[in-house]
Structure 1
């Protein structure tokens, strides 16, 4: 378990007086099977912030990387039916690893979060024809391949959309490097 997750679990106990396991039991008694349902329940009924509600939802559903027996299985599952994007992922991962020893890849169910002290990118095989690279660069104007993320609940401020390995250009890597530097 990464240090940030452990800190959140410790703070959950301090802030609510209940352990993660107790909150999971509360959620399970509600028979809520979807992530969004659990978030809504915890936010509306218990006043949780998104971060704590998200933590409990993932742990209750065993949908986070920490609950998976093998995080590589999460990544492999993301590319099922989208195997042609595997070289894109491998190229991006290799380039990002060169940024520094403090880079962490945290696989989730649908994407890989890329962190330093905080998340600075997301690697997402979004569909069979679209690969998205989420990039956190708050305050940066869209420019070149860098588009503003327009989803209301976006976890990144920008995105780059590609559909084959050759589009992982020096410009894309430079935007990722800039986000990495800003996350330190």
Structure 2
């Protein structure tokens, strides 16, 4: 399991008042049509912050899927893109001890107090990195958020490890700063 995710799970009782297993049991007592309904239930009815609520809901849905399984499924047939993902993940992990890396079914979120970036294999040859950079203009490289909608303000297309250059690292640093 990803160390950041394990830390989040370990901190859950202190930060939310219940363990992951207790939250999962609570979620099983209700039926939610959408992921967002369960997240909103935890936030509004139980005062759980968005990052924890989102993680609890994802992990309750994917009980039989480890972080490694989620990544394996995302990159099936696209294994050659894993070095690009790993380079982004390594850089983001070094931004601060408060970074939580949350693998989901189709994306991996990078969260501080709130999500500041997410990455997803978009095609067989490309990853899309979504960034939350309010007020930043779009450019040829720093595009409109595209498929990420309101989850991010911008998107950067990544095809090879060399795409993680100084400019991209500056954007990631800024997104991280805005999320604190």
TM-score by length of 1: 0.68
TM-score by length of 2: 0.69
Counterpart in 1 of 2:34? 39
Give the secondary structure class of the aligned counterpart of 1:174: helix
Larger radius of gyration between Structure 1 and Structure 2? 1
- 1:38–1:57: 8 Å Cα contact kept in structure 2? no
User: What is the aligned length?
Assistant: 159
TM-fit CA distance, 1:130: 2.1
Give the secondary structure class of the aligned counterpart of 1:38: coil
Give the whole-Å Cα distance in 2 for the aligned partners of 1:129 and 1:174: 24
Q: Which has the higher contact order (CA 8 A, sep 6+)?
A: 2
Q: Of 90, 95, 98, which aligns to 2:91?
A: 95
* Structure 2: segments with no counterpart, 5+ residues: 1-8, 45-49
| Residue 24 (structure 1) aligned with residue 19 (structure 2) | no
Change (3 A) 1:157 1:2: farther
Give the whole-Å Cα distance in 2 for the aligned partners of 1:23 and 1:97: 30
Give the secondary structure class of the aligned counterpart of 2:151: coil
The RMSD of aligned alpha carbons is 3.4
- 1:24–1:59: 8 Å Cα contact kept in structure 2? no
- 2:118–2:131: 8 Å Cα contact kept in structure 1? yes
Q: Of 146, 154, 160, which aligns to 1:164?
A: 160
